[in-house]
Amino acid sequence: MNKVISHSLFTDFDIDLFKAGKHFRLYEKLGAHLISVDGVDGVYFAVWAPTAHSVSVIGEFNFWTSGEHQLEVRWDSSGIWEGFIPHVKKGTTYKYRIQSNNNGVITEKADPFAFYCEKPPHTASVIWDLDYKWGDEKWMKTRQNHNGLDKPYSVYEVHLGSWKRHSSENRFLTYVEFAEDLVNYVKETGFTHVEFMPIMEYPYDPSWGYQLVGYFAPTSRFGNPQEFMFLVDKLHEAGIGVVLDWVPSHFPDDAHGLGFFDGSNLFEHPDRRKGYHPDWKSLVFNYGRNEVRSFLISNALFWLQYYHADALRVDAVASMLYLDYSRNDGEWEPNIYGGRENLDTISFLKEFNEAVYSNFEGVQTIAEESTSYPMVSRPTSIGGLGFGMKWMMGWMHDTLDYFKRDTVYRKYHQNDLTFSMNYAFSENFMLPLSHDEVVYGKKSIAERMPGDEWQKFANLRLLYGYMFTHPGTKLLFMGCEFGQSREWNFEGSLDWHLLQYPFHEGVKKLITDLNNLYKTQPALYEKQFSQEGFEWINYSDHQNAVISFIRKGNKPKESVIVVCNFTEVVRTNYRVGIPKKGKLTEIFNSDAKMYGGSGVSNIKKIAIQAMPYDGRDYSAELVLAPLSVSVFKI
């Protein structure tokens, strides 16, 4: 039996950085690494377990027996155990058997830094490498042109386990199959980015991936690490960016996971008021512990470095920011200033964002943050958290509340629509219609719309048209782009058969054209986060439930005029104020027949008259189709 040989990949500087919480490439040191020592191939193992009495590597190479391959603890009080085991090969399964100094507690844990894991419900780590020959050099050199804040950013949110399955056996597609089917579909529908709900390894399918155990391993449900790299590669070759959901907010207490790792509260906060999440019954990271900060920030940089991710969407930021989040009185403790903000989290998030943006060009971080916490997407240098974008949850809630109302009542609730413009430029907002809006009895987006079938789909097209012309980037959950009728079910495929029906096919055509409109009209993206890019024409026509506004780009001639009619009444001779003379051309109309609409539209060239209206010197008479968005250029 091959014994453990003393060996280390750590320098004294590595250890100093780790202890200080500043080592952001721990994945190069901790974990299992295929190397050669004195000409002998094998695996170097290193694991952080500071309260351990002993640590053994157990696996198929030693028949899962403890004591045969014990690691040595470093002399420097880092709590790192390490050693080299000869002749262990790629593909070998293993775990760490840890006997704690705390009352002799014994845990058997998956490797927190494993690059690959067994397919659930199996729980072992797998020895693997990250070798891959990338073909996306062109994308990586120019991705700032795709990912910049002044670029079109339209995201298709995908849950890989339920986007599409093999119909005969309800089997998952593989990463390689997604690299053809998903890539072609996203390219066809015109989205600029795909966002993957968590693809890091997770044990429990109903968690949708938001309860992670393998932070450095793409889930083996769909293939191995190189096959996921292949999927990212093909997306990039098709000109499509990749956003990964990242979950530093909590983790499950599964026996093989991070919880109680070495018999102590190693990764989780030891105070239950800060270390346990009551909503999700999961554990919360100790953001004030230096080594935990190094683990998390290293994990973020890992996915950007080895998997060429273009953005990280950070889940549940609000739950991290507030000590009293989802807790009753007496279940939380104020910070040192008597406030409810988690100061360790705030410091951690700032450092995370600084590390991402200082190490990688052309990437973004996106916060799913549901409160009014200030300056989430503002630079840390001026006191912000440093994210590139933030989800605009208020817009989502207000807009869906408005659209569910029967059209006869909408004139009383126009403020629901217009209120978002009061704060639209306080952050760099992304408009989300995400997976959370189509589950747990909320109904699908399509089924929330009022009226008969024609009105439901007209309202849906109107909603999407309003979304794509409203300032901010866009996110749409899979299935919404063709008007999925039922709620999302993670256990089965989307209802692709619906595309045989004209209304559903029409919505897909609409989304394709909206994506094209967004990408080809600079007024819709160049100043999407600036007050200079938006101007109301009229937000006060409550009686007719009509709003009109101007979107502006860097050049005045690129401006577009948007008019929305939120009732089914066709409005002829509807006068709208125009900022200058010339002619109007309708370039988009959500009521077009090819989308399933009634086909009411304007003539190709509309004369602008020198007649003051809406506070402007010029105006034009338009035809407003029922339940529609119309976009015009001068």
- pLDDT tens per residue across span 310-347: 999 999 999 999 999 999 998 999 999 999 999 999 99
Q: Is the dihedral of CA 87, 92, 93, 95 positive or negative?
A: positive
pLDDT at residue 67, rounded to an integer: 85
Name the nearest CA neighbour of 78 among 333, 225, 297, 294. Answer: 294
What value does the mean pLDDT take over residues 228-236? 98
pLDDT at residue 603, rounded to an integer: 84
How far is the C-alpha of 207 from the C-alpha of 319, rounded, in Å?
17
Q: Cβ contacts of residue 213 below 8 Å, gap of 6+?
A: 110, 117, 123, 201, 202, 203, 251, 252, 254, 256, 257, 258
Name the nearest CA neighbour of 629 among 587, 582, 581. Answer: 587
pLDDT at residue 125, rounded to an integer: 98
Return the half-sphere exposure (C-beta side, CA atoms, 13 A cut-off) of residue 594. 8
Q: DSSP assignment of 268-326, as one string?
A: B-SSHHHHEETTTTEE-B-TTSHHHHHHHHHHHHHHHHHS--SEEEETTHHHHHBTTTT
What value does the mean pLDDT take over residues 228-238? 98
Residue for token digits 């098709």?
A: 238
Per-residue pLDDT at 2 exceeds 80:
no
Average pLDDT, the chain: 96
How far is the C-alpha of 93 from the C-alpha of 102, rounded, in Å?
27
Token pair of 450 as six digits: 């009022």
Q: Cβ contacts of residue 22 below 8 Å, gap of 6+?
A: 290, 294
Per-residue pLDDT at 248 exceeds 80:
yes
Cα separation values, 479 from 8, 444, 446, 530, Å? 50, 9, 10, 31
Per-residue pLDDT at 139 exceeds 70:
yes
Token pair of 593 as six digits: 């027949």
How far is the C-alpha of 258 from the C-alpha of 111, rounded, in Å?
9
What value does the mean pLDDT take over residues 209-230? 97
Q: DSSP assignment of 339-367, as one string?
A: -SB-HHHHHHHHHHHHHHHHH-SS-EEEE
Instruction: State the catalytic residues.
Output: 315, 368
User: Angle at Cα 228 formed by Cα 223 and Cα 233, nearest 5°?
Assistant: 150
Q: What is the tens place of the pLDDT at every residue in 406-438?
A: 999 999 999 999 999 999 999 999 999 999 999
Token pair of 164 as six digits: 């599409």
pTM (2 d.p.): 0.97
Q: What is the tens place of the pLDDT at every residue in 535-575?
A: 999 999 999 999 999 999 999 899 999 999 999 999 999 99
pLDDT at residue 16, rounded to an integer: 97
CA dihedral 203, 62, 40, 55 (to 10 degrees): 70
pLDDT at residue 391, rounded to an integer: 98
What value does the mean pLDDT take over residues 13-41? 97
- Among residues of the chain, what percentage have pLDDT more than 70? 100
pLDDT at residue 604, rounded to an integer: 81
pLDDT at residue 170, rounded to an integer: 82
What value does the mean pLDDT take over residues 581-609? 95
DSSP label at residue 497? G
- Among residues of the chain, what percentage have pLDDT more than 90? 96
Task: Please check whether residue 476 is in contact with residue 190, taking contact to mean a CB–CB distance below 8 angstroms.
Answer: no
Task: Please check whether residue 587 is in contact with residue 543, taking contact to mean a CB–CB distance below 8 angstroms.
Answer: no
Render the burial of 555-592: b for 16+ CB within 10 Å, e for the rest: eeebbbbbbbbbbbebbeebebbbbeebebebebbbbb
Q: How does residue 399 score in pLDDT terms, banded at 50, 70 and 90?
A: very high
Pairing of strands 200-201, 80-86: unpaired
Per-residue pLDDT at 1 exceeds 60:
no
Residue for token digits 């007649």?
A: 611
pLDDT at residue 103, rounded to an integer: 80
Q: How does residue 167 score in pLDDT terms, banded at 50, 70 and 90?
A: confident
How far is the C-alpha of 201 from the C-alpha of 617, rounded, in Å?
61
Task: Please check whether residue 628 is in contact with residue 597, taking contact to mean a CB–CB distance below 8 angstroms.
Answer: yes
Spacing of C-alpha 165 from chain mean position: 22
Token pair of 568 as six digits: 């089914």
CA dihedral 421, 448, 199, 186 (to 10 degrees): -80
Q: What is the tens place of the pLDDT at every residue in 603-630?
A: 889 999 999 999 999 999 999 999 999 9
pLDDT at residue 104, rounded to an integer: 84
Q: What is the tens place of the pLDDT at every residue in 296-305?
A: 999 999 999 9
pLDDT at residue 117, rounded to an integer: 98
Q: Which amino acid does the sequence have at 297?
A: I
User: What element of type H or E holds 538?
Assistant: strand 534-541
How far is the C-alpha of 71 from the C-alpha of 576, rounded, in Å?
76
Residue 251: phi, psi to the nearest 5? -155, 155
Domains within the chain, CATH numbers bracketed: 12-109 (2.60.40.10), 152-393+408-446+472-495+513-524 (3.20.20.80)
Q: What is the tens place of the pLDDT at every residue in 477-527?
A: 999 999 999 999 999 999 999 999 999 999 999 999 999 999 999 999 999
pLDDT at residue 202, rounded to an integer: 97
Listed range (168-172, 303-307, 469-473) with the worst mean pLDDT: 168-172
- The helix/strand/coil state of 537 is strand
Q: What is the tens place of the pLDDT at every residue in 68-97?
A: 999 999 999 999 999 999 999 999 999 999
